[in-house]
A and B are shown apart, each in its own frame.
Chain A
Amino acid sequence: MVTSNTLHVVSTELTVGSFAMAGAAFLFAGLASHHRFGMQRHLNLFDHVAHFALAFGLLAMPMAIATGIASSPGDGIDHPLLINKMFLSCASLGLALGVLNVRWRQGSKVWAEEWGRRWQMLGGMAASGLILTTASLGGTFSRGESLLDILHLPYDFVPLMPLWLSGLVLLVGLANMVTGRQAAS
């Protein structure tokens, strides 16, 4: 029988691998769009790989979350690391959705402008970086160590906002998206 622990390892590797590839491809796409190292002729390739890998990583993420919950000991969120993992992965999810949405709406023109190409590259890389940090926290939670231990990150500090402030931030974000759509149409 395949346990949820094993499935979690599989789904996590799928997710993290996709995001890692997306992060590297966004870096190369950014370099190519800035005409660095003679990579500009590969921009089309890097662009497609970056966004496809990012989308595939997003598709694999729900399975990683579901198997992670099934395999974690105890009930509910009972450890600071789990909260921080949730926050980081949600930030990454939002950023990745934003990056993909911009690419879908603007098409390849996103690489045509200085402003757009810079932030598309940084947004994609940041989304990947956040997921890799999340995976590193998972290693710390399950095995007590990870590669990022050398950075001495404050794993036990949970930046939890009051409920009212989270609600306010959520409303501002939703209002921003609605007004943005209205302005676009």
Chain B
Amino acid sequence: MHRNFWVILATLLLFAPSLGSANPSGVGEGAFDAQCGGACHGDADMNRSSPSIVTLQSEEVAYEGLLTSVTVSIENIQTTQQGLLGVFLLSSLSGAGDLPSDDGWTIISNSEGGTENYVEITVLPSQNQRNVTWTLRAPDIGQYELHGAIHHGTQDGSEAPFFGQSSTPIVVDVVVVPEDLPRLTSDYAPTTQRLLGETTTMQLDTTFVESVEVEWRVAGGEVQTTEVIALSDGRWSFDLPASLQPSVVEWRAHLEGEGPSQTTPWFQLRSEAAPWTVDETAAYVQSFALIVVFMAGFMTLQKRQPNEIQKTAFSDEAFEGGDI
């Protein structure tokens, strides 16, 4: 009994470090401080500096309460065999209180279809550069810094967890909104995800706007315009064509009015195949049923005694003695 206990304990201990110390499959998107607040990628004894170059792009000026976009660009990408790369948008790099929301920013969307400051993207082997864009609602008037950061592993999984960050932050000056500035309403939130094969009708809610022109493009592609229909005072609609394969369509609106003309940031609309779902409870119960039925079925089968059993000349003694 004692021996069994120690063997089982030793086996569990052998597995524990390898299973518990890393997340090579990532942790999924979420709200995380820099270096996840001090996880493996933030442990000075374990981590290493990433060779990747992280930079940020954004407008230098944003209007209080209105939308703006920030793009984190990663070059010279190194990542795991699965191509997993974690990308952060942060308000500081201290490891605590680093979320953009800690400075008053509100994340409306990111180009991966979520609303968190940390996303995990899959980088294809041929890709050496990737961008992740966040659409943010600006905080109160003031100057704010934003940082980009990344987490990743290596191809063979044998080295330390890597951490990289933008060498310099971007500084965004949030200023007061001019009285007659043509703009989207303060509570406007665009649709960010849709299913493949669906044409999307988007609605725009605006203030101080007399005309709207909308441009769209498949990420990185040629810019096209689409017809905008005025539904009522300050409300507009336009159609974005369906996607036949998973992709990101970006769109932006040029807003004209009495005040200075405005152009919104590029908004991302991600098209994905309908997720495959299954009733997991039914699947687990069926799995357990399969174990029991196959076991019981086979044992019942072997218990059956046909009327005419053909006995061979095997005896237990001959069998055990290896004579047959």
On whether the two chains bind one another, the answer is yes
Hey, which bits of chain A sit against chain B, CB under 8 A?
1-7, 33, 40-41, 43-45, 63, 66-67, 70-80, 83, 86-87, 90-95, 97-99, 101-102, 106-116, 119-120, 123, 158, 160-163, 166-167, 169-170, 172-174, 176-177, 180, 184
Report B58 CB to chain A, min CB distance, Å: 31
Interface extent on B, as a size class? Answer: 35 or more
Report B208 CB to chain A, min CB distance, Å: 45
Q: Is the Cβ of B18 less than 8 Å from the Cβ of A99?
A: no
* With known contacts A3-B157, A160-B283, A108–B316 Cβ distance under 8 A: yes
Report B3 CB to chain A, min CB distance, Å: 17
* With known contacts A90-B291, A163-B281, A67–B19 Cβ distance under 8 A: yes
Chain A residues whose CB sits within 8 angstroms of the CB of B81 once the complex forms? 5
* With known contacts A44-B320, A113-B311, A77–B287 Cβ distance under 8 A: no
Q: Is the Cβ of B25 less than 8 Å from the Cβ of A72?
A: yes
Q: Is the Cβ of A40 less than 8 Å from the Cβ of B324?
A: yes
- Identify 13 residue pairs between A and B in the complex whose beta-carbon atoms are under 8 Å apart, listed by A's number: A4-B25, A87-B287, A97-B295, A111-B319, A112-B319, A114-B306, A114-B310, A115-B309, A160-B278, A163-B279, A163-B285, A170-B288, A173-B289
Q: Is the Cβ of A98 less than 8 Å from the Cβ of B295?
A: yes
C-alpha gap A172/B296 in the complex (Å): 9
* With known contacts A2-B18, A112-B314, A114-B309, A94–B157 Cβ distance under 8 A: no
Among B26, B285, B296, B316, point to the contact of A177 (Cβ < 8 A): B296
Among A1, A111, A169, point to the contact of B158 (Cβ < 8 A): A1
Q: Is the Cβ of A120 less than 8 Å from the Cβ of B302?
A: yes
Q: Is the Cβ of A177 less than 8 Å from the Cβ of B292?
A: yes
Residue among B15, B25, B288, B296 with the highest chain A CB neighbour number at 10 A = B296
Report B129 CB to chain A, min CB distance, Å: 23
- A-B pairs under 8 A by CB, number: 186
B 1-39 to A, binary, CB cutoff 8 A, 1 in contact else 0:
000000000000001001101101110100000000000
Q: Smallest CB-CB separation from B28: which chain A residue?
A: A75
Q: Is the Cβ of A160 less than 8 Å from the Cβ of B286?
A: yes
Report A45 CB to chain B, min CB distance, Å: 8
C-alpha gap A38/B38 in the complex (Å): 68
Report B189 CB to chain A, min CB distance, Å: 26
C-alpha gap A160/B283 in the complex (Å): 7
C-alpha gap A76/B25 in the complex (Å): 13
Report A176 CB to chain B, min CB distance, Å: 4
Q: Is the Cβ of B298 less than 8 Å from the Cβ of A112?
A: no
Q: Is the Cβ of B320 less than 8 Å from the Cβ of A160?
A: no
Q: Smallest CB-CB separation from B301: which chain A residue?
A: A119
Q: Is the Cβ of A94 less than 8 Å from the Cβ of B292?
A: yes
C-alpha gap A73/B21 in the complex (Å): 17
Chain B residues whose CB sits within 8 angstroms of the CB of A180 once the complex forms? 296, 299-300, 303
